[in-house]
Amino acid sequence: MLKLQNYINGKLVAPQNKQYIDNYNPATGAVYSLIPKSNKKDLEKAVEAAENAFLSWKNTPQEDRSNILLRIADLIEKDLHSLASAESFDNGKPVSLATKMDIPRAAQNFRFYATAALHNHTNTYQTDENILNYTLREPLGVVGCISPWNLPLYLFTWKIAPALASGNCVIAKPSEITPYTAFLLSKICIKAGLPAGVLNIVHGLGSEIGAEIVAHPQIKAISFTGGTQTGANIARVAAPMFKKLSLELGGKNPTIIFADADYQKALTGAVKAAFTNQGQICLCGSRIFIEKIIYEKFKKDFVEEVKKLIPASPASVNTNFGAVVSKEHLEKIISYVEIAKSEGGKILCGGTQTHPKGFENGYFFQPTVIEGLAYDCRTNQEEIFGAIATIQPFETEEEVLKYANSVRYGLSASLWTENNSRVQRMSKGLASGIVWVNCWLIRDLRTPFGGVKDSGMGREGGFEALNFFTEEKNICIYSTNV
């Protein structure tokens, strides 16, 4: 049985209590590895290592830090296929998706921030002929990065890379549900020559070691991606300690399709937005609103396309729909089918667990489309985070904006129309941090990422991330020699 290890002070080490957690393969339902069940003693070792490494890493020339991070990016790219296979095995997603998206993006995260930090700048202000003000941005010190299970290495590196690039030392915790590629990243960091203590990865339960990271007095900032309730709990602990917080939380995102949209592109885009990664992306468009004049045609074509998504072995390059991440999450998704039925919903396709041949004990669920629900019912208001999409007709812009903005979340929205005036009106009216027009999930790392309302606080991506992991200092010089 494979035993994963913590990465502390540059070494792979067992948890001090010698306790482990079972790690399951979602496609088979079988335990395939053991995860350290780390506790406060492991965290103290990690924090001590990070504090000891901080001054040296902070004072390392920016170009040297950049070169180390670029070596990490190179090694991730070199191990693309083995990392993609590991991600698929651990998470249940199709290996083709991990190969095309997850692992390339992890390498891109390191490459982008390794170079972006070289171009970050500060400001100078000439107050008058005797007074000069300028600003410096300095790393915070030891910071905490806690990432989710849906895009394991992708989101893990998105947090770690800007923190390291800006001179911080990091205590990072991957999800206990999908820890394998974070463990493999530990080995890559050792191979790349990352100095001991600069990055420390501790595995374990979010309710235990994750909570300890949030509460530790020497950890100056927390970057967290996950559920809204967990984010609220983190804020309650961290805010009185005056920690910096970046919380990327839930989403219940609308896809809005007008009759004047490019029909085929909108159809393909809506399927992709609803069901990529088995619907387990916070940006998935699970509420689909279709202009009434094309509703019946779109419904028929949409269901036909969804039926082409066949749950099968995640390891097969031909699989377009993998397994749900865990038994508990599968049960949650199934429970929402029953909720939808009780609310008057009609199941147009899917709606049940499925058992592909050879994977009878795996966590597979048929992609599901439901119609006939009110916009404000539980199914349309609560984050399911699975392969369930609802469809509903609308007649006017005002009506669909009411539907789209009715939820407590405001992470993203996708809008399909060829009317440029409508694009401007709708984009302004949608209460979300991101609006995709005639596309979905196109990300430029230079742009800010984050939501409004209960979808979180702060922004990730671009220079916003570098700024988050630094503190601004103003220096005012008065000269009497001018």
Q: Would you name the residues annotated as active-site residues?
A: 248, 282
CB of 36 closer than 8 Å to CB of 42: yes
State the first-to-last Cα distance of the chain, in angstroms, to the nearest integer. 73
HSE, CB side, 13 Å, CA atoms: give it for residue 293: 8
What number of residues does the chain have? 482
CB of 292 closer than 8 Å to CB of 392: no
User: What is the spatial distance between Cα 447 and Cα 463, in angstroms, rounded to a whole number?
Assistant: 8
- In 382-471, which residue ranges form alpha helices assigned H by DSSP? 397-404, 420-429, 462-468
User: What is the spatial distance between Cα 321 and Cα 134, in angstroms, rounded to a whole number?
Assistant: 53
User: What is the spatial distance between Cα 268 and Cα 263, in angstroms, rounded to a whole number?
Assistant: 9
Q: What is the dihedral of CA 408, 412, 413, 418, to 10 degrees?
A: 150
Buried/exposed code over 124-138 (b: 16+ C-beta within 10 A; e: otherwise): eeeeeeeebeeeebe
User: What is the spatial distance between Cα 422 and Cα 74, in angstroms, rounded to a whole number?
Assistant: 43
219-225 and 142-146 strand pairing: parallel
Residue 69's φ and ψ, nearest 5 degrees, are -65, -35
**Reduced to 3 states, what is the DSSP secondary structure of residue 138?**
strand
User: What is the spatial distance between Cα 301 and Cα 348, in angstroms, rounded to a whole number?
Assistant: 12
Chain-centroid distance of CA 473 in Å reads 30
Amino acid letter, residue 128: D
Give the position of tokens 């629900």: 373
Structure tokens at 145: 């990065």
CB of 153 closer than 8 Å to CB of 102: yes
**Reduced to 3 states, what is the DSSP secondary structure of residue 201?**
strand
Q: Which of these, 250, 317, 358, lies nearest to 93 by C-alpha position?
A: 317
Structure tokens at 338: 């029953």
Task: Give the helix/strand (H/E) hosting 295.
Answer: helix 295-306
Q: What are the C-alpha distances in Å from 305 to residues 272, 298, 337, 352?
A: 10, 10, 20, 18
